[in-house]
Amino acid sequence: MLHRFRKQKAMPVQECPSCAHTTQGGNGEDQTLTNVANGCRCRIRRHRAHGAIRQRLLDLGFVPNAEIEMVRCATLGDPLELRVGDYYVTLRKREADLIDVRAA
């Protein structure tokens, strides 16, 4: 959790274009899925995951160009719940950090 805290401080804070929440990363710039605020949508640019994790993510619809919505995070801040198309998937931040996205 300490780790997350540091990371947030280091990134510039910006308004999410589709809602009132704040999100990190510049406009059009890539950011990781971890940094998307609750209720915001984004599109997948690419994966930096390999092997089993990559396959699992692809199986669950985290394919390039898919639209993802951040639904909520668990009580202790991890894992995350995301909407992919018409179903919901949970990911740990560790895995979400391997996905580069761009604001939708």
Partner 1 sequence: MSPAKKNIMIGLAGQQNAGKSTIFNMLTGANQHIANYPGVTVDKKTGNYRDELGRVEVVDLPGTYSLTSFSLEERVARDFLLRERPDAILNVIDASSLRRGLYFTFQILEMSFPVVMALNMVDVATAQGRKIDHEKLGRLLGIEVVPTVGRKGRGKLELRQALRRAAREERGEDEGFQDQHGLRIIYEELEEHIASVHEQLLESENLVKAVPLRWMAVKLLEGDSEALKLLRRHHARADAVMDAVSAATAVFQGKMDITPADYIVTCRDRLAASLVEQCVEVTRADTVRFSEKIDRVLLHRAFAPIFLVLTVYMIYELSIVQGYKLTFLTWPALAWVRTVVAGLLPDPGLLHDTILRSMSLWMVDSVNTLLNYVPIFLILFALIAILEDSGYMARIAFILDRVFQSFGLHGQSTLPFILGGVFTGGCAVPGIMATKGIPDERSRLATILTVPYMNCLAKIPLYTLLVSIYFAAYKSYLMLFISTITIIMAMIIAKLLTSTILRGRETAPFVMEMPNYHMPTLMGVLRRAVDRTWVYIKKVGTIVVAVAVVVYVLLQFPGLPEERMSYFDARMDEAIATFRGNIQETPYAEILADDQAVLNLLNIANTYREAKLAASTQEASSAVDDRYEALHPEIFPLLRPRDADARTISRHLRGLSSERSNLRTAIREETIVYSYFGTVGRALEPVTQYAGFDWKINVALISSFAARESSVATLGVLFQEGADESLSLEERMERSGEATGFTPLHAFALILFFALYPPCLATTIMVKVQTGSYKWMFFSIIFPTVFGLAVASGVFTISTWLGLSGIQAMVGFYFLALGTAIGLSFLPDPAWKEPKAALTRAKEV
Q: Does 43 bind partner 1 (CB under 8 A)?
A: no
Q: Does 50 bind partner 1 (CB under 8 A)?
A: yes
Q: 26 in helix, strand or coil?
A: coil
Window of 12-20, 28-36, 84-92 that interacts with partner 1 by CB under 8 A: 84-92
DSSP for 89-100, please give it.
Answer: EEE-HHHHTTEE
- Smallest gap, in angstroms, from Cβ of residue 26 to partner 1? 23
Q: Does 26 bind partner 1 (CB under 8 A)?
A: no
For residue 95, the Cα-to-chain-centroid distance in whole angstroms is 9
Which residues does 51 contact at the CB level (< 8 Å), separation at least 6?
Answer: none
- Cβ burial of 22 (10 Å; 0-12, 13-18, 19+) is exposed
User: Which one among 11, 37, 53, 104 touches partner 1, defined by CB under 8 A?
Assistant: 53
Q: Does 64 bind partner 1 (CB under 8 A)?
A: yes
Q: Report the interface residues with partner 1, using CB under 8 A.
A: 46-47, 50-53, 55-61, 63-66, 71-79, 81, 85-92, 94-95
